[in-house]
Amino acid sequence: MNEVYEKLKLCLNSVREKTDFRPETALILGSGLGDYADDIQIEQTIDYSEIEGFPVSTVPGHKGRFVFGYVNRVPVVIMQGRVHFYEGYPMSDVVLPTRLMGMLGAGKLILTNAAGGVNVNFNAGDFMLITDHITTGIPSPLIGPNLEELGTRFPDMSEVYSLRLRGIIKKEAAQLGIVLREGVYVQLTGPAYETPAEIRMYRSWGADAVGMSTACEAMAARHMGMEVCGISCITNMAAGMTTKQLDHKEVQETADRVAGQFKKLITAVIGKI
Ligand code: HPA
């Protein structure tokens, strides 16, 4: 058996020894958004450190556990804290949790993140519905022997972020009176923030936001046939767009400031997808 798949099966067995919960929807919480999982109807939590072979995140502000429970009576699994490529894990480990949630039964995936705004019309604190992504700046999570058990060697990526789910999210945001921008997310490796020249280049590519996560997870999820959507919290304007220097504190402060609205939107969306 393929090494990556073997590790996945090991993690799956390890989780299945602890719970037989079957989620329908998976949710990954980004920087500063992790509190959401504390407010749901929790059935069980499993710390990443309890799962054999599981990559454990090291970023401050990121808890490391799966929360199993219900949102609007929908069975969900939530990743409270994700694993980033810049932490030094191979891409196959970065997307392992996503694949694991799919293997646990989740057919739908909601991705969230903190991102830098590249579109000049955006403001810090905005939400952006991800319409598409650019992953040129990172290695593909699908490199290596194909995991035939999960999906095809050359998967289509022409609609990574489901039009159906995007329609539901837009409708729910409008009903809640939440302004929702739309745009293209560029994933970069980090951990340094970008330079102003890089941001100008990404804008010319068609980027609306930049970040250090999400697109690789979306790719892995699409490879295995999950229905995917993503929402970015624009926590800051990207490098060179203001006179301010960028720091992780600002990212967390903005995410905290809009967390209430974010929670409302996610809860409404989970009930409708
Ligand atoms: N760049 C990259 N990642 C980020 C940013 C940014 O400006 N803000 C939050 N995550």
pLDDT digits (tens, 9 = 90+) for 179-214: 999 999 999 999 999 999 999 999 999 999 999 999
Distance 20 CA to ligand 1 centre (A): 37
Cβ neighbour number for residue 203 with a 10 Å cutoff: 17
213 part of the active site: yes
pTM of the model: 0.95
Q: How far is Cα 152 from Cα 68, in angstroms, rounded to an integer?
A: 29
Residue nearest to atom 7 of ligand 1 (CA): 116
Q: How far is Cα 58 from Cα 253, in angstroms, rounded to an integer?
A: 19
For ligand 1, residues with CB inside 6 Å are 114-116, 193-194, 210-212, 235-236, 238, 246, 251
Helix (H, G, I), strand (E, B) or coil at 253: helix
On the CB side of 53, CA atoms within 13 Å amount to: 18
pLDDT digits (tens, 9 = 90+) for 2-25: 999 999 999 999 999 999 999 999
State the pLDDT confidence band at 59, using cuts at 50, 70 and 90.
low
Task: Please tell me which residue in 113, 119, 213, 232 is annotated as part of the active site.
Answer: 213
The percent of residues in the chain predicted with pLDDT above 70, rounded, is 97
232 part of the active site: no
For the cut 90, the answer to whether the pLDDT of residue 38 exceeds it is no
Q: Which of 85, 111, 119, 194 to mutate to test the pocket of ligand 1 (most atoms within 8 A of CB)?
A: 194
